[in-house]
Amino acid sequence: MTFSSLRAAKIVYKRHFRWHLHCFLSTDIVGDKPILVRDFIRSALYDPNHGYFSKMSGSVGQLESSIRFNQLQGRVAYLQRLSNLYKQHDISWFTPVELFKPWYAFGIAEAIMRTANLSIPLKIYEIGGGSGTCAKCIMDYMMLNAPAKVYNNMTYVSVEISQSLAKKQLQTVGEVQSHLSKFRVERRDATDRSGWGNGDHEPCWVIMLEVLDNLPHDLVYSPNQVSPWMEVWLEKVKDRFVMCSQVSEVYKPIQDSLIAQCVKIIGLDEDHAAGRNRLVSAASYILSRAFPKPRRSWIPTGCLQLLEVLHSALPKMSLIASDFSYLPEVSIPGDRAPLVSTKKHGRTTDHGNYLDAKV
């Protein structure tokens, strides 16, 4: 199920983020040894000490009260309201579950109620629950609308990588005392299989809202139209002239198994498939020598990793995920490139190079 086709939500996406960065230089992330781009992104976003999501519980914004949509006079009024909200909340970004609360989460709760086998205890896992709004609203909905035994016997487990957001989720859900006995937060990385122990072999629900595209991605590069893709690593180099370090990209033949798997699933190598006519191949080769056009492609290795872990740990899960359907005005080069921005005093600055940004 995806909510990304909601027109209103798409408007939110425009002002929304992929990776947002704050005050820590990329040269501080890359140590003495080169690292893959996904490890760079993981550190920038989720490092327990300097990661964007770890440092600031305000990274995922929370509205004090719901927007009264019935009192807004159409789209322009909604956009004006949104713009005021962003001015009031300096560093925060608002996700659909927050802007459309409680209705967005109520919709998910209703979908679960209609499809779950309610004769067995309802078990929901939420990954990356942000400020806890989805968890609270789903539990509110079950309390008010499901048969009493469904609410009384349900369990809601939040798996959250950020310490500060895990704390905030407990606060949000704890606004309704009776929810607390059914709710727990496990502060851990959901992509780490060992954290799931033996897993859960009972039917359960997994909710992930705006999580998949916030997971680390890798970058692959090819110097022209026909050369094979190479994996991108980042290394720190000393600049002789300005006497300081810089981070630069290094290209290596693909060896990492996650990258290789992702390249295969996306079909990036299909352009060079053996089935090509010899004449076309020769023409492409000549063209690539005469007018080489470097190619860059961002690949969702973090997403692949998480889906594989969930598939193995929760084999009977039903998955509800929502994410962006597109990102407009991205200046970073490459297919599926991220939007990397900094937000200060309510103003957003987009970066043209993911390495230039401060994190």
Ligand X SMILES: C[S@@+](CC[C@H](N)C(=O)[O-])C[C@H]1O[C@@H](n2cnc3c(N)ncnc32)[C@H](O)[C@@H]1O
Contact call for residue 129 and ligand X (CB under 6 A): yes
Q: Distance between CA 319 and CA 207 in Å, rounded?
A: 6
Contact call for residue 130 and ligand X (CB under 6 A): yes
Burial of 11 (0-12, 13-18, 19+ CB in 10 A): middle
Contact call for residue 218 and ligand X (CB under 6 A): no
Contact call for residue 190 and ligand X (CB under 6 A): yes
Chain centroid, CA 294 distance in Å: 27
Contact call for residue 206 and ligand X (CB under 6 A): no
Over the window 150 to 189, marking each residue x when it contacts ligand X by CB under 6 A and - when it does not, the resulting string is ---------xxxx--x-----------------------x
- Exactly one of 128, 300, 334, 338 binds ligand X (CB under 6 A); that residue is 128
Q: Taking a C-beta distance cutoff of 8 angstroms, is the pair 216, 301 a contact? A: yes
Residue whose Cβ sits closest to ligand X: 128
Contact call for residue 215 and ligand X (CB under 6 A): yes
Q: How many residues make contact with ligand X (CB under 6 A)?
A: 23
Contact range with ligand X by CB under 6 A, out of 32-40, 95-103, 106-114, 279-287: 95-103
Token digits for 236?
A: 């720190």
Minimum distance, C-beta of residue 59 to ligand X, in the bound complex (Å): 8
Q: Distance between CA 88 and CA 186 in Å, rounded?
A: 31
Contact call for residue 210 and ligand X (CB under 6 A): yes
> DSSP label at 268?
G
Task: Kindly give the residue spans of alpha helices, DSSP state H, lying in the chain.
Answer: 7-14, 26-29, 37-46, 52-55, 75-88, 96-99, 103-115, 133-145, 148-153, 163-173, 257-266, 278-290, 301-313
Contacts to ligand X from residues 38-67, by CB under 6 A: 46, 53, 60
Contact call for residue 97 and ligand X (CB under 6 A): yes
